[in-house]
């Protein structure tokens, strides 16, 4: 499933259910659900351990490659 990398201060339009969000600094991935109740936006988040591990595995490789150049 595709997830969105978020940078600080970036605006986005999430889908209502199952929006996957990845932090650009630490690689933590959450699945988020959104809804509007009485004109107010509500959301809930669930941490995705497997996706987080996959992102962080690739992040450490990228950091190692940059350090070697």
Reply yes or no on whether the pLDDT at 48 is more than 80: yes
Give Cβ neighbours of residue 9 (< 8 Å, ≥ 6 apart).
none
Which residues are paired to 68 by β-bridges?
none
**Residue 54: Cβ-neighbour burial (10 angstroms; 0-12, 13-18, 19+):** middle
DSSP state of 56: H
11-16: which pairs have CB atoms within 8 A and are 24 or more residues apart? none
- Overall average pLDDT of the 24-42 stretch: 88
What predicted TM-score, i.e. pTM, was given to this entire model?
0.61
Quote the tokens at residue 67: 């350090």
The domain limits of the chain are 4-68
What tens digit of pLDDT does each residue of 12-30 get?
777 778 888 887 778 888 8
């Amino acid at each position: 499933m595709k997830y969105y990398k978020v940078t600080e201060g970036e605006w986005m339009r999430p889908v209502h259910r199952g929006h996957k969000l990845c932090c650009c600094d630490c690689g933590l991935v959450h699945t988020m659900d959104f809804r509007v109740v009485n004109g107010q936006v509500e959301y809930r988040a669930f941490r995705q351990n497997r996706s987080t591990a996959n992102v962080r595995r690739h992040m450490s490789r990228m950091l190692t490659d940059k350090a070697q150049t």
